[in-house]
Structure 1
Amino acid sequence: MPVECKEIVVGVIDNEYYTCVGLQQELFRTSPEGYKLLVVYGSTVKDLFNILEKHESKLPHPHIVLLDRVLSDESTVSDNVQALRAKDIPVLVISNSPTPVTTRQAYSAGASGVVHKQRSTEQLVSDIFDVIKGKIIYTKEFALAIKASEEYIDAKLSPREIETLALYSLGYSMNETGDRLDISAGTVKTNLGRIRQKYLKVGRDAEGFANIRRRAYEDGLITYEVFLRALKDEIYNVVDGEERVLDADHLG
């Protein structure tokens, strides 16, 4: 059944205004015959709400919001999706780097889908109309999130092992990790050995600092920004006498 309203209001929440300008041009170019996609921009959820309130008499209620995963106000994707859904606005999360954890969080909070920013405009327009019709968009990102969730559960890391993995992956040495957990560096080393073995049992390589940090990133224990910093700032980092070489070939 076609959408009754010929004018489709698409809210876009993104850090970059020019991203919105380019998107508006592309959406206008690829709009289905008989429909006009009007884009309303906001840098944050609060900003978009303020704009909609200020121009309430001119702007109809958005049919959908395209929400960037990472915003300048450091809000979480869960909070942003919930705020939009509380106003009965369908949400499609867009991201340059969708992670399994944030993808699960977005769907759990009520998002209708999580798609990559490199998705073609034609496919994005199709997604927009599907979401407006009440459909859920199941993408590769969703499948990866479910797979990672199953693997994470299968690994059966203990709470202490999770804490150890998180701190060590943030770049703390074994001594520093031990200090923060009130355990010895030897116990940290033992925990890391157990973590590697548990991941290995479910088919996830965790040998070496690069791989164990990748597992921590995939399971949401560190952010994409921290993971990316490993490539930029920690190519060679000697900690506890161990030279950590972060090779891009090993990071996939």
Structure 2
Amino acid sequence: MEQLIEVAAIDNDQMLLEGMATWLASVPDIRLTATARSVADFLSQTVTARIVLLDLNLEDFTDPVENVATLVDTGFTVIVITVVPDLSYILATTEAGAVAYVSKTANLTVLADVIRAVARGDSPLTIEHAFWLGRDNRPDRPELTPREHEVLVAYGRGMTVDAVGRQLGIAAGTVRTHLERAKQKYADVGRPIRHRGQYGERIREDALGRERLRGPGNHPPVGE
């Protein structure tokens, strides 16, 4: 007898959740054992399933990338599902740790095959996922250190140098140093930052800033 695969689903479409539960009940090796309409609601439950089917765009307007990152950080394996593909979010959620992407227009048999592959430890690539990954035409992005990334995002969101330093637990002079290094790296890839507003433009263009910033008590060693 095949081992039973437990899955959970997070989607604001209650009809879809109920339909999925009914359909999976006829599949001998997969069971939908937990559902929720938001990530917060899901994390408030005690669940045994470790594979989560996550709707890309929930109606609570939470950030799709942060949703994936939160679930991954909590120990879940995430399969993203959506009816309306958003290229920037598909790329960013993949980078945030989603192991597979399935369109809601796909046959449910495809979803079952993806679930089985993920349960085996694979990262299956559906035709739709391969298509969207192949359309990654984002501009060249510099390789920032984690600290440069944090400083750039905070400053690009409008914080002052002093405020960034207080949030990250580093001196204002160190903040300026990281900003200068990030600025030089963008110039090196042909995307110079010439004025304050362009810091914000770069974090939007490169889908940065969707991760939670670390607090003063949890930051890289000095000089990182």
Contact 1:64 1:91 in 2 (8 A): yes
Letter in 2 for 1:147: G
- Residue 41 of structure 1: SS of its match in structure 2? strand
Contact 1:68 1:94 in 2 (8 A): yes
Q: Distance in 1 between matches of 2:10 and 2:124?
A: 19
Contact 1:100 1:141 in 2 (8 A): no
Letter in 2 for 1:18: M
1:21 counterpart = 2:7: no
1:84 Cα deviation from its structure 2 partner: 0.8
C-alpha deviations, 1:12-66, integer Å up to 9, x for none?
Answer: 000011211100111111x24xx351331100111011122xxxxxx42x13100
Contact 2:9 2:35 in 1 (8 A): yes
1:87 counterpart = 2:74: yes
Contact 2:79 2:98 in 1 (8 A): yes
1:123 Cα deviation from its structure 2 partner: 1.3
Aligned partner of 1:43 in structure 2 is 37
| TM-score normalised by the chain length of structure 1 | 0.52
Q: Distance in 2 between matches of 1:77 and 1:51?
A: 20
Runs of 4+ in 1 over 4 A off after TM superposition: none
Letter in 2 for 1:97: V
Of structures 1 and 2, the one scoring higher in RCO (CA 8 A, sep 6+) is: 2
The structure carrying a bigger helix percent of its residues is 1
1:144 Cα deviation from its structure 2 partner: 2.9
| TM-score normalised by the chain length of structure 2 | 0.58
Looking at CA atoms only, which structure, 1 or 2, has the larger radius of gyration? 1
Stretches of structure 2 lacking an aligned partner (at least 5 in a row): 141-204, 208-224
Q: Distance in 2 between matches of 1:64 and 1:118?
A: 20
- Residue 135 of structure 2: SS of its match in structure 1? helix
Letter in 2 for 1:37: R
Letter in 1 for 2:109: E
1:8 Cα deviation from its structure 2 partner: 2.6
C-alpha deviations, 1:136-178, integer Å up to 9, x for none?
Answer: 121233333333223x439xxxxxxxxxxxxxxxxxxxxxxxx
Q: Compute the RMSD of aligned alpha carbons.
A: 2.4
Q: Percent identity over the alignment?
A: 27
Q: Residues 25 and 95 of structure 1: is their aligned pair in 2 closer, same or farther, counting only changes over 3 Å?
A: same
Equivalent residue pairs, number: 143
Letter in 1 for 2:139: I
Stretches of structure 1 lacking an aligned partner (at least 5 in a row): 53-58, 155-218, 222-252
